Chain A
Amino acid sequence: MVPTNTKNFDTLVVGGGIAGLQTALDLGDQGYSVAVVEKDASIGGKMIRLSKVFPTLDCASCITTPKMSAVAHHENITLFTYCTLNSLDHDNSGEDSGNKFPGINAPGVKATGLKALITQNPRYVDPIKCIGCRQCEYVCPVHVPDMEQGGLSATKVICIPFSNAIPQLPMMDIENCMLCGQCEKACPTNAIDYFQKPERFIITAKTAVITTGFDLLPVRDNVQYGNAKIPNVIDSLQMERLLAPHGPYNRVLRPSDGMEPDSIAYVQCAGSRDKSTGVSYCSRVCCMYAIKQAMLLSGSLPLADIIIYYMDIRAFGKGYEQFYQNAKAMGIEFIKAKVARIDEGENGQAQVRYELQDGSGIATADHDLVILSMGMIPAWNPGAICPVSKDSDKFITSIKPKISPVLTDMEGVFVAGAAAGPKDIVDTITESGCAAMEAAKFMSKRLVEN
C-alpha cells in the first residue's frame, strides 16, 4: 500500500521525550512548523515516568507536564503519538521539490528535503470521538501488568496510559482483550473501534531532529545479577516508580511480599563500564540518580540502611558534587566495590557478593531490596529505517562533537539528548536547544548567505 496522505512541516522531531519536547518548543517559538512523532501512546518519554530529579529534587512531573502541555497546545506543533517511523531519508524523487523545500535548495546544499513514512498504530479508539472520560477503562474486566509502573501493579486492557498522559486517549491492548464488548457499551460517544487499522502517512520536512532517547539494559540478560529471576532485585526505573507520587503501591515496599525494606542496596555500573555486557561506556546518570533515590528513600524510610556499591562516583554536573556530599552527610553509605554477583538469599533477601578494599577478601551482604543501576542503551536503532550513522557505542554519531554535538552525517538531520549518548536531563535540555538552533540555521541559510 502506498500512502497518499502527505503532511508538510519544517521540522520532523522523532521522539517525544524531554529532548523532543524542548526541541519542538524551541523551533515552534521561532515560527517553524514542527511534527513530533512518538512511538508511545503519550509524549513525555522517560522523564514523565520519574519520581524527582537531581540535583534540585523537583518532581519530574512538575517540570515535564507543563512542557508536554505547552507542546500539545502550541500553534506551530503537531503531535503524532503511538506511531512507528518506517523510514526517514532524503527525498530525491521530487520534480517539484524545488518549490516544496525552497530553504534547502540553497547553493552548496545538495539535499532536497526529507521524507518520512509513518504508521499510525491502532488504539482501537477513535481519537476524534473519544472525550477521555475513561468509562471504558472503568468497566474493562481484564487486568494486565502495568508496564508504566514497571510491571509492579496492574492496569486494564483498555486504559489511558497514565494520569497525566498527553493525549488523554485510551488505547486497547488487543493481544489481551477478550472482546467482551463492555467498553463499547460503556462508551458514551461510540469511540471504540475493534476494527481500526494501522494507517500509513508521509511527513515531508526540511529538517529532522532525532530525539529517540534511551532504554535500560534489560536485567534479564544479566547473568551475574540473576537474569531478573531473583525476587526483590529491581532496576532503577522500577525504583523510580516505587518512589513516584502515584506509584504502584503509593509507598516504598519490596515487590515480592510487600515488606517495608530495612536494608536497601544500589549496585552501580550494573552493565555499564563492562565490556561483557556490550556497554563499555559510562552511562553518566546512574551515580546521580542512585544518590537521589537514596536520599528520597532515607526520607520515606528513615530507619532503613542504604548502601551504594560503586566504582567511581561521577558527580560532575553543576551542583552534583555538593549533592553527593549531602548524601554522605545524611548517612547514606558508599562502598567502593564492583559487585561480582547477586544470589537469592533467605526470606526474600538478595545476597550481594563483592571484594573488600581493605584487603580482607570477599564479603557478602544480604539486603531486603537491591536496585541495579542498569546501563543506558539507545532506544532506537536507525538500522534500515534511516541512513544516519551510529558509533561503536550504537548511539547516533556526532560528526563535530566539539563544535556542535548535534550534527549528524546526514544533511539536515540533527540529534539531541540520549540518542547521542547517555545524558542527564539538564544536558539534554541545553542540547535540545542547540539542535533546534542548528535546524533553524539550516533552514534560514539561504536567507542570510552572502
Chain B
Amino acid sequence: MSEMSSDKTTKTDRVGVYICYCGGNISDHVDVEAVRNRVEKMPGVAVARTEMFMCSDPGQEMIIEDLKSGKIDRVVVASCAPSLHETTFRDAIKRAGSNPFIYEHANIREQVSWVHHGDTATNKATVLIASATAKAKRLKPLDPIRVEAKKHTTIIGGGVAGIKTALDIAQTGIEVTLIEKSGILGGQLNHLDRLAPSGEKASDILQEFLDQIVNYKNITIHTNCIIENVTGYVGNFRLDVVTKSDNKKFNIDTGAIVMATGSVSYTPYDGEYGFGRHEQVIVLKDLIHILKENKSSGSVLEVNGKPIKNMVMIHCVGSRQIPGIHKPKENGKLNEYCSRTCCAAMLNASNQIRENFPGTGIYEMYRDIRTYGRGQEALYTQASKNKVVFMRYEADALPEITPSPLPDYPLQVKIKDSLTFNEEMDVPVDLVVLATGIEPDDVSGLASMMKLPIGTDQFLLEVHPKLRPVEFPITGVFLAGTCQAPMDAGEACNAAGAAAVKASALLRKGYIELDPFVAQVDIDKCQGHGACVEACLKEGALELIETTIEGKIHKKARVTAALCLGCGACAAVCPEKAIDINGWALKQYEDMVDAIVSDGFAV
C-alpha cells in the first residue's frame, strides 16, 4: 500500500451542505429552512442550500455548479439513508469533475423525520449535519480499489430460474457453472403438468431449456453437489464443492454468484384439514400428479380406483397465516405471505377436471381469489362457467374436515360461507385437495457462509425491491426466482433475466471497482506489533510482512484492500495509531463527536 501522504491536519473550509425536503418526507417534520440557516453559520460551511428533491436533476445540478465554480470542495447531502442515494450523489460529483469521495451523507429522513417530530426533529437534523460537516472537512480524494474479476459466474440451483440465468449469462460470453444439489435439473417444474393459465406443458418448457443448456460449451453443470464453503470477494470468489455420491471435493473460482435455490411446498402438519389422518386429504401437487398420470376417460375422475363424485379444494393452506389463528411451525414461524401461484393453479386443475370429468363436482373454498396475472382472470370466469362452486371462508372460521355421516361419502367439510350470508354448510366429499403454499428451500447454511440476509418471511432478502431487486448487499452476489418470493415460472424467468443482466454488466470489463474505505498503514509509524492482525475480522485482509529498511529487517502490517471490510477493528487496537481507515479516520470521528456535543448548533 502507498503511504499516507496527506497532512492529517488538513481541513477544508469550503463544505457545501445540501438539504433535501424529500417532498415533505423530511420537511413535514424538520424545519428545513431553519436547519439551513443554522448550518450556513457553521464553521467551514461555504454554502448551504435546500431543494424539494435533492436527488432530482435540478438538485444534482446545483451541487455540480457549486463544485465547478470552486465555491466548495467538499459535499454534504442531508437526505434519506445513504443506501438509497450515496451512489447518485457520488456520480453527480464525478460529473462535476471532482473526486467522488469528497462526499458525506447525513441521514435526516430515516434517522430523523420518520422517527421524530417538531423541534426535536429540527435539532437532531442540525446536529447530524454538523457532525457530517465536521467529518467532511477532513475527507480527502480517494481512488477506488480496482480488482481483477474472473469472467465466470456460478449459479446455485438448477431449477427454471437457475437454468435461465445460466443461459442468459453464458450468451454474453461469460463462463458459467451451474450447481444443483439433486440429481436432475428443472426443480419444481418436474412436479408440474399443465401450467396456468395457458396450459403449456411443464415438461415441454423444461425440455426446451435443457436442449439449450446441454449444448452450451461455456456452461458446466454439476448435479448432486453440495457447497461446503464460500470464500473470497466480488470478482474472486472460491466455492468448495463436494459431490454427494463419492465425496469428491473440488473448487470453483468465480467472479459472481447467483442464488437460484428455489422453493419447496408447504407440508401440512398432522391433522391440518385432516391431512395425514384421512387418505382422502391430499395436497395440490398430488392432484396435479394424478391428473398428469390419469388415462381414464369416464365421466367421473377416479383416484386410487375410487370415483370422485364431489371434491373440495381448500385455498391458502400454509399461506396468509395469521398470528393467533394459525398454528406456528416448530420454529415458531408463520407463513404470513400469499403464495401467489396457488389460486391460478387450483382453478386450472378445477377446469381440467370439470371439462374432462363432468360427473365430478368441485367446491372451491377460498379467502380471496387472486387471479392477478395475464390470462388468469379468464381461468376464474371459466371455472364459474364450468359450474365450480365457490365458497368463501374467513380466516377466523377455517373449514373443518370430519368423517361424513352419509354412507356414500368418507368425509365432509364444514364451512361458514360468507358468500351466502355466513350460512354453515356441510359438504360431503370423496376428496379434499389442499392448496399448499410455497416456502423457500432451506439455505440457511449458504446464507450464513455468504452473510446473505433473510427476511422475516424466511425468503432471501434483496437490497431493495425497486432499486436493486436482484442484488444482495454483498457485492457480486445476486438472487433470482422463488428463493426470493413466490413466483410462477414466467416471473422466475423474468427475475433470472434481471439477475443475469446485472451479473453480466458487473463482469464484462474484467475488473471491478470497490469503495476505497479500507485500512491504510502508516509505514513509518508501524512497529510491527501485530495487534491489528490479531484483531482483524477478515481472514487474509491484514498480515505482517518482513521488509528491509536501511539494511534492517522490520515487520510491517500490510492490507489486502479487496478483502478489507473497513471495520476499523485494527485502528482501535494499534498502540502507535499507525493504521487508520480511509474516509473514516479516527480524527474524523473525534471531530464528529465534538460537533455533536458542542452547544450552539441546535436551538
A-side residues, CB < 8 A to B, are 26, 29-31, 53, 55-56, 58-59, 61-63, 65-66, 68-70, 72-73, 132, 163-164, 166, 168, 244-246, 273, 280-282, 284, 312-322, 325, 336, 357-359, 391, 393, 395, 398, 401-406, 420-422, 425-427, 429-438, 440-441, 444-445, 447-448, 450
Contact = CB atoms under 8 A, between A and B. Distances in A.
Contacts of B377: 273, 280-282
Interface string B434-464: 0000000000000000000000010100001
Nearest to B421: A359
Interface of B: 21-25, 52-53, 55-58, 60, 80, 84-85, 88, 91-92, 95, 164, 168, 170-173, 195, 198, 200, 205, 208-209, 215, 217-218, 319-320, 322, 336-338, 340, 368-378, 381, 418-422, 457, 459, 464-467, 469-470, 484-486, 488-491, 493-502, 504-505, 508
Contacts of A359: 420-421
Contact of A164 (B57, B171, B368): B57
Nearest to B94: A73
A314 B367 CA distance: 10
B141 to A, nearest CB: 21
B372 A314 contact: yes
Contacts of B172: 30, 440-441, 444, 448
A273 B337 CA distance: 24
A62 B508 CA distance: 29
A63 B215 contact: no
B318 to A, nearest CB: 13
B501 A434 contact: yes
Given A357-B418, A401-B374, A450 B493 contact: no
A316 B372 contact: yes
Contact of B501 (A314, A320, A420, A437): A437
Of A61, A284, A434, the most chain B CB neighbours within 10 A belong to A434
A115 B440 CA distance: 45
Contact of A434 (B21, B217, B494): B494
Contacts of B80: 62
Nearest to B489: A402
A245 B494 contact: no
A246 B369 contact: no
A404 B493 contact: yes
Given A280-B381, A358-B422, A402-B490, A318 B465 contact: yes
A402 B200 contact: yes
Given A168-B57, A404-B493, 19 more contacts: A56-B465, A61-B23, A62-B22, A62-B53, A63-B466, A65-B53, A66-B88, A70-B88, A72-B57, A163-B58, A166-B57, A282-B372, A359-B421, A429-B466, A433-B498, A437-B497, A440-B172, A444-B171, A450-B217
Given A68-B57, A245-B52, A426 B171 contact: no
Contacts of A431: 494, 498
Top 8 nearest A-B pairs (CB, nearest first) are A245-B23, A433-B498, A434-B497, A359-B421, A164-B56, A318-B485, A245-B24, A312-B368
27 contacts: A30-B508, A61-B53, A65-B55, A70-B91, A72-B57, A168-B57, A168-B58, A244-B23, A281-B375, A281-B377, A282-B372, A315-B338, A320-B337, A321-B320, A321-B337, A357-B419, A393-B374, A401-B490, A402-B205, A402-B490, A403-B209, A405-B491, A430-B498, A433-B469, A437-B168, A438-B497, A450-B215
Contacts of A313: 368
B56 to A, nearest CB: 4
Nearest to B174: A448
Of B58, B164, B336, B501, the most chain A CB neighbours within 10 A belong to B501
Contacts of A62: 22, 25, 53, 55, 80, 84-85
Contacts of B489: 402-403
A365 to B, nearest CB: 19
A314 B370 contact: yes
Contacts of A437: 168, 497-498, 500-501, 504
Contacts of A316: 338, 340, 370, 372, 486
A358 B490 CA distance: 39
Nearest to B25: A59
A404 B497 contact: yes
B67 to A, nearest CB: 15
A321 B434 CA distance: 20
Contacts of B381: 280
A336 B418 contact: yes
Contacts of B91: 70, 73
A357 B374 CA distance: 29
Contacts of B25: 59, 62, 245
B23 A246 contact: yes
Contact of B170 (A69, A434, A448): A448
A66 B322 contact: no
Given A168-B58, A444-B171, A56 B466 contact: yes
A320 B370 CA distance: 12
B52 A246 contact: yes
Contacts of A432: 498
Contacts of A31: 508
Contacts of A405: 490-491, 493-494
A421 B377 CA distance: 12
Contacts of A425: 466
Nearest to A42: B57
Contacts of B467: 63
A438 B169 CA distance: 10
Contacts of A435: 497
B50 to A, nearest CB: 13
Contacts of B173: 444, 447-448
Nearest to A54: B465
Nearest to B343: A316
B348 to A, nearest CB: 13
Of A357, A430, A432, the most chain B CB neighbours within 10 A belong to A430
Given A70-B88, A163-B56, A450-B215, A430 B374 contact: no
A168 B496 CA distance: 36
A409 to B, nearest CB: 15
A314 B218 contact: no
Contacts of B23: 59, 61, 244-246
A391 B493 CA distance: 21
Contacts of B340: 316-317
A318 B459 contact: yes
Of B52, B172, B338, B381, the most chain A CB neighbours within 10 A belong to B338
Nearest to A74: B91
Of A61, A70, A403, the most chain B CB neighbours within 10 A belong to A403
B378 A280 contact: yes
Given A431-B494, A434-B496, A69 B336 contact: no
B53 A73 contact: no
A29 B471 CA distance: 15
Contacts of A55: 465
A436 B501 contact: yes
Contacts of A56: 464-466
B437 to A, nearest CB: 11
A142 B149 CA distance: 59
B370 A69 contact: no
